[in-house]
Amino acid sequence: MQDDAFWLRLDNAAKIYPSVRTDELTSVFRISVLLKERIKAKAFLGAIQEVENRFPYYKVVLKPGFFWYYLEHHRRPIPVQPDLDIPCRAFDKQSFMFRVLARDNRISVEFSHILTDAAGGFEFLKCLLRVYLIHCGNPVAHNIPALLPSDEPGQEEYEDAYNRYFRKTVSPRMNLRASFHLPFSLNRPSELKVLTMEIPSDQILSKARYCGVSLTEYLISVYMFLLQDIYEELPLLQQRTNNRIIRIEVPVNLRNFYPSHSMRNFSLYVLPEIDMRLGHYTFEEILETVHYLMQLETNKKLIHKILSRNVGGERNLILKRIPLFLKSFLFNTFYALGTSRYSGVVTNLGNVKLPREISELIDKFIFVPPPPSKKLKVNCGVIGFGNKLMLCFGNVTSSNTLENKFGEFLRKEGLPCDIHAY
């Protein structure tokens, strides 16, 4: 597979994206690292050159087949650009589906979900960062735990891990009711606005621990509580016509459950929810509900059930034999149905752990989630480094109400937070 010319099937999670992606719904996410010093152009380009052949499975172009899309390897250089435009823009049809960007003291990588998930993209960024810092004359960068450009990419890095860990099991279809969506009007012309929120990690962590939940559960609870708040502020008639379930999509990195080294997509979603038909939820009640639902849904057996259901759908004999143009139509319908089932997305990439001497060179990391759909309108990416927890809100509406409420809520809870435009 490591030969010059190869092609890859799309992995299970990627299969839907080519059919639903548009200039606005790009399915492109970004991970940025902000250094304490300006990016040195020569060292940066040197580092790009050095990692050029380390990730051949990303140097692919999307091609339509008769039944499925597939990825075709090309020997072009990694696309490098100055970071001057809005984040997470769509890729041209014939181009690679990732790019590396730099501006001032910031290095960013953008990947389409067709190629990989945030965990895969982050491995690429870590490798690039390591090589860049070495090129800048920082020998301590050798301590960054990352893939080495000199190593041959392993066979496992190419693989569709969903199929590897698929076992046929009982996995009935889920019938979820449609959920509440933010009532704000969309940006005209449609453009992604990105706001970042910086919170001291130690303070928010101790707050979450005090509440007896994890950091992700705490943030999901705040998000749900504020969505409930927005719902309750609506005029009565609008409240009645809206769906009254608040459900948040939370991606789970399956590499934490299965010993996979796949550099492609390998994540699933769990969907904690509250049902507002049962009455108003206090924040404490939401915390409790989210905590137990998350514990339950991230059980390995249940995760395996979701994995089996997803892969089982792909292996369906009828679906397999439907031509691509019909599949695309079906996928579009499924996707629209899927997004109507949840009210928001909170995706936590986790806490970045690097040796202390490296931390002195890095200010923070930022994770920009893919632009939300017109139905979803806002989503939130989370990443922590050192004592900085960075929340990043992608928003396609003309309102910043949710972000402002988020900031206000955290401040009321005694957590200082700085809000900035990205």
Q: How far apart are CA 184 and CA 310, in angstroms?
A: 32
Integer angstrom CA distances of residue 21 from 16, 24, 311: 9, 8, 21
Instruction: Decide if 390 contacts 402 (C-beta within 8 A).
Output: no
Angle between helices 201-210 and 215-233 (to 10 degrees): 80
Task: Give whichever of 34 and 271 is closer to other proteins, judged by the CB atom.
Answer: 34
Tell me the sheet residues that pair with 196. 392, 420
Task: Please give the radius of gyration of the chain, using alpha carbons only, rounded to the nearest integer.
Answer: 21
Q: Is 323 exposed, middle or buried (0-12, 13-18, 19+ CB in 10 A)?
A: exposed
306 closest CA partner among 260, 348, 250, 346: 250
Q: How far apart are CA 272 and CA 280, in angstroms?
A: 17
Task: Give whichever of 93 and 209 is closer to other proteins, judged by the CB atom.
Answer: 93
- Smallest distance, other proteins to C-beta of residue 82, A: 4
- What residues make contact with other proteins under the rule CB under 8 A? 23, 37-42, 44-45, 80-85, 102-105, 188-190
- Smallest distance, other proteins to C-beta of residue 89, A: 8
Task: Give whichever of 83 and 314 is closer to other proteins, judged by the CB atom.
Answer: 83
| β-pair type (344-352, 378-385) | parallel
Task: Give whichever of 96 and 162 is closer to other proteins, judged by the CB atom.
Answer: 96
- Smallest distance, other proteins to C-beta of residue 86, A: 8
- Smallest distance, other proteins to C-beta of residue 42, A: 5
- CA 219 to chain centroid: 15
- CA 64 to chain centroid: 25
Q: How far apart are CA 416 and CA 278, in angstroms?
A: 33
- Smallest distance, other proteins to C-beta of residue 36, A: 13
3 state DSSP class of 404: helix
- Smallest distance, other proteins to C-beta of residue 61, A: 19
| β-pair type (362-368, 28-35) | antiparallel
Task: Look up residue 25 and give its two tokens.
Answer: 């719904």
- Smallest distance, other proteins to C-beta of residue 186, A: 12
345 closest CA partner among 179, 99, 173, 197: 179
Task: Look up residue 332 and give its two tokens.
Answer: 């579009």
Tell me the sheet residues that pair with 394. 194, 379
Integer angstrom CA distances of residue 220 from 184, 277, 346, 397, 408: 20, 20, 7, 21, 16
